Amino acid sequence: MKTNSVFDRLSKAMCCGCGVCAGICPTQAITIRVTSEGINYPVLDTTKCIFCGKCQQVCPGFGFDHKELNISIFGQAPENALIGNFQAIYKGYSGNGDLRFSCSSGGLVTTMSIELLRNKVVDGVVVTRLKYGREVRAEAFIASTEEEIFNAKGSKYCPVSLDKAIIELKRNPRKVAVVCLPCHAIALRKAMSHDKVLKESIVLILALFCNQAPSYRALSRYLKKHKVSASQVTYFQWRGDGWPGKTKIKVDNQHEISELSTDAWATCFGSGYFTPLACYCCQDFFGDFSDISFGDAWLPEQKGDTIGTNVMIIRSDKGKQIVDGLVDAKKIHADNLRLQAILNAFTINTRTKRICYPLHANLIGNCPGVTGMSVLGAPSCKVVVKEFIRLVKLFVGVRLHA
């Protein structure tokens, strides 16, 4: 039966599990569930669907006009297609040394979120925390205190759905900033162009650069490797405590297991075996549709940095005004970075995502890809070989971990 909903044409290649469809649905007919593959995926209660089509309008997997969306947000198409619209690029870090050390990169996102709340620019910030119980699961929520924002610091390399935060925002509208991934940002921008409450409530989008969000199977595998059952975990972090940081498990509030996050990434989370199909079809690395986007400062001059530094791309006037104010108030530190320096640092990410992943989307997904952008040009032989290896890993991974 045709429902006008996302379910008319849903596939795992086009669904990043962002949960915006479930958040926007007027009858709450959609629930986001964690599948046996460890990804977030929507489920429809057909008895509640009123065929309004709203979920389809906001879904990033249904594609969009990249140029049009840029013009509607920033007033122009991007001059550089690899990085999107921007006004300034900086490397920087939090003015609070403890925060800088304890966050994932340089602590800019947490510092900025706290300052936005403290200065009453917003009434809350959508951030992501971990919930412990039978399983360890991530939950996006509206933090309304500095403590809640602080406790939600750190990158969660797992699926994150915004559904509950959006439902809460629509129920009780207030000014918020949203910390999210590039796919979330696209879904939110689409939602904001259709939904007045969201348009008026979301005043700032802060996106994290994103190469992939590994499935929950990666986390299960990691805990198994360390002989810990999920129900024993009382604290988990992928990154933090310096740079690139430490992956830590606290077991039954008693003992702690810790290793370099680069080792945990290489052997488990970043192995490629746990990359969801949707991430293999996603073409946005830098968070093109945010006001400001943030990543790690993987720059040659940062070799030996043990505390942490961010790179940030300022895209909107609002973003620029906020960053300038925080630099003047010495809450954050920021130095100009040349466009070429950031492109060099992230060559592999941008080239594979912008050039190869549209091919994946067409070939394996038969869809526009999670963030359907256009193919920029023919990939080089080196890129094609790397992509071939990735696809073999994906193929093997799906079979090994299915």
Q: What is the CB neighbour count within 10 angstroms for residue 170? A: 15
Q: Which span (107-115, 118-126, 252-260, 276-284) binds ligand SF4, by CB under 6 A?
A: 276-284
Interacting residue with ligand FAD among 61, 95, 107, 245 (CB under 6 A): 107
x-or-dash string of contact with ligand FAD, 205-244, rule CB under 6 A = ---xxxx-x-------------------------------
Burial category of 359 from C-beta neighbours within 10 Å (exposed 0-12, middle 13-18, buried 19 and up): middle
In the complex, least distance from residue 115 CB atom to ligand FAD, rounded to whole angstroms = 12
Q: Which of residues 19-78 bind ligand SF4 (CB under 6 A)?
A: 19-21, 25-27, 29-30, 42, 44, 49-55, 58-61
By CB under 6 A, residue 296 contacts ligand FAD: yes
Measured between alpha carbons, how far is 306 from 228 in angstroms, rounded to an integer?
29
Count of CA atoms in the C-beta half-sphere (13 A) of 277: 21
Q: What is the CB neighbour count within 10 angstroms for residue 234? A: 14
Residue type, 77: A
First and final C-alpha spacing in the chain:
29
Angle at 16 between CA 15 and CA 18, to 5 degrees: 110
By CB under 6 A, residue 271 contacts ligand FAD: no
By CB under 6 A, residue 156 contacts ligand FAD: yes
Interacting residue with ligand SF4 among 177, 332, 370, 373 (CB under 6 A): 370
Count of CA atoms in the C-beta half-sphere (13 A) of 194: 18
Measured between alpha carbons, how far is 372 from 367 in angstroms, rounded to an integer?
8
In the complex, least distance from residue 376 CB atom to ligand SF4, rounded to whole angstroms = 17
By CB under 6 A, residue 187 contacts ligand SF4: yes
Q: What is the CB neighbour count within 10 angstroms for residue 79? A: 10
In the complex, least distance from residue 315 CB atom to ligand SF4, rounded to whole angstroms = 16
The residue ranges that bind ligand SF4 (CB under 6 A) are 3-6, 10, 15-21, 25-27, 29-30, 42, 44, 49-55, 58-61, 181-183, 187, 210, 212-213, 278-279, 282, 284, 370
The residue ranges that bind ligand FAD (CB under 6 A) are 103-110, 113, 127-128, 152-157, 160, 179-181, 208-211, 213, 294-296, 310, 349
